[in-house]
A and B are shown apart, each in its own frame.
Chain A
Amino acid sequence: MAAVLAAGFIAVDRAATPAAPAVDTAGFNASVKPIVSGTCEQCHNASIKSGDLNLVPYLDPATVASDRATWELIASKVESGEMPPSGVARPPQEKMTALVKYLRGEFARADAAVKPDPGRVTAKRLNRNEYTNTIRDLLAVDFRADKNFPTDDSGYGFDNIADILTVSPVLMEKYLEAAETISARALGADPLPKKPLEQTCDLSTKTLRRLDYSTVEASQRIDYDGDYNILFKFPGERGADAKPVTMGFYMDGQLLKSMQVETKPSNLVAFNPQSNGEMTVFLPEGDHVFRAAFLNDDFVAQFTSDRDAYSDKKNKWIGAITFVGPYPTKVERASRKKILICDPATGDACVQKIVSQFAHRAYRRPVTPAEVASLMKFVAMAKSQGQTTEQGIQLAIEATLVSPEFLFRIERDPNPTDPEKVHRISDVELATRLSYFLWSSMPDDELLSVAEAGKLHDPAVLSAQVDRMMKDPKAEAFADNFAGQWLEVRNLDFITPDAKTFPQWNAELKEEFRTETRLFFQYVLTENRPITDFINGRYTFLNEGLAKFYGISGVKGPDFRKVDLTTDERGGVLSQGSVLAVSSYPNRTSPTIRGKYILSNILGTPPPPPPPDVPPLDVSKVGTDVSLRQQLEAHRANPVCASCHAKMDVLGFGLENYNGIGKWRTTDGKFPIDVGGTMPDGASFHTAAEMRSVLLADMPQFAHCLTEKLMTYALGRGMEAYDARAMDDIDKALAADNYKFQTLIHQVVTSLPFQSRRGELVSNKQSTGEKPKEIAQR
C-alpha cells in the first residue's frame, strides 16, 4: 500500500492514463457519502486529520477516480474492520459492506476501461551486491563492493530501486579505483611483495576480540590475493581426560577450513601451557572479518567467570592468529582463463577476440565493431608507452568496467518520449532483467545465448530458463537480497541486543539465525512449496547450536539440516530468531514493532506514522510494576491511537512468547505471558500457533503483499496504480495453483510490466510547483 500511496507523487506518468469512465455519482451519494460525513469525518477533518488524512475533500465523488490511492486505503481499512475504530459509533454492517462493494466496483470498472500500462523502469546502476556478483561471474575476482563503495540508498524497502540509485563523485572515484584493482587482479598483474608479510592479531593488543569463551574475531585487511599460512596460538590446557575440539576458521561468515585441536596437557614443559596450530588457505584481497571458534565446545559451559575461563590451568582458548603471506598460489587463476580465451602472443586477431568477448559479456549484449575498435585503442596506447599486450588488455578491461554500458542496465525505447507506445523489451534485455532478479548478477553464457538467438521470449524457453535459474546456486543471492530485505534479516548486522538482558546473544547465533531463514526461503523456492509455509511451515533448518537455543533436541553437529517441527511453539518465518530479533528493541520485545512488521511485511498494510508527540512506554517498570501488555493497553486508551494499535498490538502480542532475541518464554519478569487477542474483524486467538492460523485464513492478503514486494524487487520500481491489474492477474493465477512459490516467480516473469515498457511522458511539471518549498513563516 505504501507504494500505491506514493504513486500520487509520481506526477510524470499520471497523464498517460486515458480518461476513466465517469464515476457513479448516485451510487456514491447513496453508499459512501453518508458514512464519510456521518462517521469518518469526525476524526478525519481539516483540523484533526487523524492518520494524516482529511476526508472533507473526499466528499466529492470525482475523487474516486482522481485519487484512487486514498480510496483504496479507505476500502481496505473499512473491509478489515480497522475503521471506524472501537469507541466510535459504527454504522450497521450492511452499510459498511455496501460502501466497500461500491468502491471495489468502481475500481474494477475503471481498470477495465484503462489500456494495460507496463510502466517503465529507469536506467539502473548496479548496486553494491550486483556489482560484487557481476565481477565474480565476469572475471572470477572476489571484490567486495560493500567494503569499498558508499552505501546504496533504498526505497520501498529495497536497495535496487532505479530512481534512487545515484552516482556521486565519490562513487565515481571508487569505480575508477575498483576498475584498476580488479583488472590487475584478474590478470594476476598485481605483483606480490618479494618477502611474505606477517601480521598478528592477539588479545593483548585488542586486535583480536573475544566474542565468547570459544570464539574470537579479528578484522584484518588482506592486501594481496594469495596463499597464506595461518598460525594459531592456544594458551592454556584442560584436564588430562579432555577431548580434542574442532576449530573452524571463517572469513566473512564462510567456513574456510577446520582442524582438530588437542586440549589436554601436552606434557611439554612450559612456563605457561600453550600449543600451536597451523593451516594454509587462499585469501582474496580485501577487508575481511576472520573468526576462529571451537565448535560445539561444551567444556566452557561450566565457566561462570572470565577468571576461570581464561585460567591456563583450567581451560584452553584461542589467543592469537598470525597471517603469514602472501605466497604465490599454486592453482592457475580462474580469472585469467576467463579473459585469455586465446594466446595474445599469436597476434592482433586474438587480442581483438579477447577484448570483444569481454565487452560482450560485460555489456550483457552483442557489441558493435565500433565499440571494439574504441576499446582496442587502449591496447595500442599501452603498446605505444612500451607496455606489453597483456597490459593493454588490462587497460581495455579497466575502461570497460567504468563504461555506463557496464555500470548501468539501460533499456532502449524506439519512442522514448511517447507514453502511448508500449513495446516488448528485447530478448537480451529480458535476459538481463531475469538474471538480476534471480541471481543479482549478469546472465550466464547459456541465458545470453538463448536470448541472442531470439528465443527467450518463447514462453516454453523462458519457463525452462527460470526453472534452471531457480535451481542454480547463484539463486542464493535471491534469498540474501530479496528475503534479506523483505524479512529485514539484513538488519541482523545493525542490531545490538543488550548483553546483560540476553547473555545468549553472540555472533554465532546471529549467523545461525541468518542461515536458518536463508535455507528456509531457499527450500520453499526450490521445492516449490506453497507460500503458506512462510506463515506456518511445519519444518525449519537447524544445527545443534540453534536447536538448543530453540529447545529442540536430537540435532547434533554444526551443519544445518531440515528438521520437522513436532510442537506448536514454532512454525514459519514469524517464529524464526532472525525475524524476532530484528523486530525488537535492544533490551526488550516491542509488540508494536512486531505488529508493524506483520502489517508491513506479511499483510501489506503498513500503519501510518504515529503523531510526533507520541509518548513512549515507561520501560523501567515493565516486568516489575506492571506488565508490558497493561502498559500498552493503557497507552492506547485514546481512540485515535487505538485505530492503528488495535490491530498492530494484537498481532505483536501474538509473538510475546518469543523474547527479544526469539527465545521461547512463558513469563516476562514476574508476569505470565498473555498472547491472546481479537482482531478488528472479530477473529481471535490464544496462542502464537492460533495467530498463524488467523493469518493463514487471510491468505489472499498475504499473497498480494508478497506479489507486491516481489514485483517491486523484480522491476526495481514502486508499484503504481496502473500495476493493479497485473498484480490482480498474478494473485488469481497464484491462488489457482495452491499458492506454489515457483508459480509466483513464473507469473512475475511473464507479467506485462516485466516483459514490456513504454515511452516516458515529458511534462513541464517541473516548473509548476514540483520545486521544493521555500516557505518563510514570519
Chain B
Amino acid sequence: MIKGKAPAMVQRSALKRRTFLRGIGTAAIGLPFLDAMSPAFAASTAPAAPVRMAFFYVPNGMIMDAWDLNYEGKFQELPRTLKAMEPFKDDMIQIGNLTHNTGRALLDGAGDHGRCSGSYLTGVQVKKSLVDIKSSVSFDQIVAGEIGGKTRFPSLELGMEDARQAGDCDSGYSCAYTNNLAWKSDTQPLPPTLNPRALFERLFGTGQPMTPEQRERQAMTRRSILDFVMDDTHKLESNLGPTDRRKLDEYLSSIREVETQIQAAEKDTRQVDPGMDKPYGIPADFGDHFKLMSDMIAIAFQSDLTRVVTFLMTREGSLRPYHELGIPDGHHPLTHHRNQPELMEKVRRINEYHVQQFAGFVKKMKESKEGDRSLLDNSMIVYGAGLSDGNAHLHEDLPTLMVGRGGNYFKPGRRILARRETPMCNLFLTMMDRMGVNVDHFGDSTGRLNCLDLG
C-alpha cells in the first residue's frame, strides 16, 4: 500500500492487454489470452469477457455487531446481517477498516449524512452549501468516461427513493449531496432513475420494436436536432456571464453525451430481449421495487449494455418506515438508537432485510453464465454504506462487501482487514485498475488495496 510502488495489477490492466493483443495480431483475439497474462488460470478457455462494476449503497450506517466478524481469513459462520449471503460465501470478500476521512467534519461542523454521501464515490470533502454545490467527479464516472464508449450506456445511475422535495436536508448541506451518488463534474450530480418503467424503456426501448429504417430515421432526426440546439447554444453563450455560461456548458456536455450514445446505438443495433414484462409504475413494496431494478441491472450487465452501475438504494437521512417488516418508524430516526436494545434490533432487521434483497440480485448474477464462468465472476459488486455506526456518525471501518471476482482476479471467501484508516479511495484505485483505467491518485488515496488479490 505504499504510494509509487507499481503493484502487479497495473501491468495487467486492459490497456496493456490491448497492446499485447495488437502485438500478436487480431487473429489471436479468440484465444485464451488470459493464459499468458495470468498463469493461475491457465486452464481457462473463457473468451475475454469484460469486467463490470456496481455499487449498492445503503444509508444511515449499520449496527456493526451484526455485520463485523472478529476474525480474519476464510469465512466461517457469517454474521447475522450477512446470513442471506450464505450461498455466496465463496464469492465475496468482507473488507474491514476502510475509512472515508473526507466524510468527517474536518472543521465543517455538523452534517455527517450529507458529507458521507457526497464524499462516498468522489473522495473529496464536499462544500457545505445549500445551493452553491461543489463536489468532484466520482470515480465511477472516471471509469465511464474512459471505457463507456464501448457500451451503449457509459453508466447507469439508479435509486429507489425519491429526492426530498420540501424542507432541508442535512445541516446546511444541499440535498444534491444525499440525492445523488455519481457526479459527472464538481457541480453536476447525476440523478438516479427511480422508476422501473423509465429504466426499462431506456435500456430496452418502449416495447414496440422499430424497423432498421425507423431507427435510422430517428437517429438522424435526433442528430440534426442536437446539431441545431448546439448551434443555438453557442450563439447564446457568447454574451453571458460566467455562471450562466456554466449552466449552458452543462447542457452542452449533456448533449454531447447523448450524441455519443446515439452513435453507440447505431453501431450496436442489437435489440436486447430483456425476457421480462415492461413494468408499470413504482411498486410500493421495497422488495418488489428492488427486484425490478436489480433484475434490469443484471440484464444490462449480461447483454453488455453498460459496465458501470451505481445504485443508491435509499438515501442518507431516509425516513422510510419498513412496513414490510412491521416497522413503522423511519429508518434514520431509528439509527439514532442511543444503544436501546429495541431500537437497535429494528435497525438490525432493516440491515438484514436490505442484504436479503441484495442476495437475490447476487443469485441472479451467479446463475448467469458467461463462458465457463458466471457473470458474477466477471463483476465487482460492492455493497456498502457511508457510515459504520450510524448512531455516532462514524466514518471509519465502513461496512464494505466486495462480491464477485473482478474477472477471476480476487480471492474471495474471506474477510480481510486492511490497516486502520486505509482510505476507501484505495479500493477505488484497485477497482479502476480492474476496469482498465489507470490512475495514480484519486481523492485521498495512498495506494492500492492489494490484499484483495489472489496473491
Contacts and interface: CB of A to CB of B under 8 A. Distances in A.
Interface of A: 2-3, 5-6, 9-10, 12, 49, 52, 120, 122-123, 125, 147-148, 150-157, 159, 161-164, 166-173, 176, 179-180, 209, 219-221, 287, 289, 374, 377-378, 381, 385, 395, 398-399, 402-405, 407-408, 410, 412-413, 416-417, 484-485, 488-491, 493-494, 496, 498-501, 585-587, 600, 606, 608-616, 618-620, 717-718, 759-760, 762, 770-778
B338 A616 contact: yes
Nearest to A618: B340
Contacts of B198: 148
Given A164-B176, A381-B224, A774-B443, A374 B191 contact: no
Nearest to B288: A206
Interface in B225-283: 225-226, 228-229, 231-233, 236, 239-244, 247-248, 250-251, 254-255, 257-258, 261, 280-282
B40 to A, nearest CB: 33
A220 B280 contact: yes
A612 B328 contact: no
A417 to B, nearest CB: 6
Contact of A169 (B247, B254, B342): B254
With a 10 A CB-CB cut-off, give which of B186, B187, B232, B239 has the most chain A CB atoms. B232
19 contacts: A2-B130, A3-B130, A9-B132, A153-B191, A157-B168, A164-B174, A169-B257, A170-B202, A402-B226, A403-B228, A403-B232, A408-B248, A612-B392, A618-B340, A619-B343, A620-B340, A718-B130, A772-B134, A773-B124
Interface stretch (B11-19, B66-74, B158-166, B402-410): B158-166
Contacts of A613: 391-393
Interface of B: 101-102, 104, 106, 109-112, 122-136, 157, 162-168, 170-172, 174-176, 179-180, 184, 186-195, 197-198, 202, 217-218, 221-222, 224-226, 228-229, 231-233, 236, 239-244, 247-248, 250-251, 254-255, 257-258, 261, 280-282, 284, 319-321, 323, 328-330, 333, 336-338, 340, 342-343, 391-393, 421, 423, 443-444, 446
Contacts of B131: 6, 155-156, 161, 163-164, 717-718
A774 B123 CA distance: 8
Given A404-B232, A774-B444, A500 B111 contact: no
Given A155-B130, A586-B321, 4 more contacts: A168-B189, A168-B254, A609-B171, A777-B101
A49 to B, nearest CB: 8
B392 A772 contact: no
Given A150-B191, A616-B336, A416 B186 contact: no
Contact of A488 (B166, B194, B333): B166
Contacts of A162: 247
B202 A153 contact: no
A410 B217 CA distance: 32
Given A408-B247, A586-B321, A612-B392, A176 B258 contact: yes
With a 10 A CB-CB cut-off, give which of A179, A404, A413, A611 has the most chain B CB atoms. A404
Contacts of A496: 320-321, 323, 328
A424 B315 CA distance: 42
A500 B165 contact: no
Contacts of B165: 151, 154, 159, 485, 490-491, 493-494
A764 to B, nearest CB: 11
Contacts of A219: 280-282
B436 to A, nearest CB: 22
B371 to A, nearest CB: 32
B117 to A, nearest CB: 13
A724 to B, nearest CB: 18
Contacts of A374: 228, 231-232
Which 5 residue pairs spanning A and B have beta carbons closest together?
A498-B328, A609-B171, A155-B131, A150-B191, A760-B241
Contacts of A489: 166
B136 A169 contact: no
A416 B242 CA distance: 8
Given A122-B247, A154-B165, A775-B101, A6 B232 contact: no
A776 B446 contact: yes
A416 B129 contact: no
Contacts of B157: 170
A610 B109 CA distance: 10
B263 to A, nearest CB: 14
B163 A151 contact: yes
B337 A772 contact: no
A772 B127 CA distance: 6
Nearest to B184: A168
A552 to B, nearest CB: 28
Given A154-B166, A609-B111, A776 B423 contact: yes
Nearest to B161: A494
A151 B162 contact: yes
Nearest to B230: A404
A49 B110 CA distance: 11
Nearest to A155: B131
A770 B250 CA distance: 20
Contacts of A412: 239
B179 A163 contact: no
Contacts of A408: 247-248, 251
Contact of A399 (B225, B393, B446): B225
Contact of B225 (A402, A600, A774): A402
